[in-house]
Amino acid sequence: MASTYTPSAPVASADTARTGFGDLPRENPCAQCGRPISIPEWIEAGQRRTSYLWHCFACDYRFEAVAFEPAQEPLAA
Does 15 reside within a domain? no
Does 17 reside within a domain? no
Does 52 reside within a domain? yes
Does 48 reside within a domain? yes
Q: Domain tally for the chain?
A: 1
**Structure confidence at residue 69 (pLDDT):** 87
**Structure confidence at residue 11 (pLDDT):** 47
Does 42 reside within a domain? yes
Per DSSP, which regions of 1-77 are E strands? Answer: 28-29, 36-37, 42-46, 49-55, 62-68
Q: Would you say 45 and 12 are in contact if contact means Cβ atoms under 8 Å apart?
A: yes
Q: Please list the pLDDT of the chain residue by residue as tens digits (77 residues).
A: 444 444 444 444 444 444 455 667 888 899 999 999 999 999 999 989 999 999 999 999 999 999 898 887 777 76
Q: Which domain holds residue 63?
A: 28-68
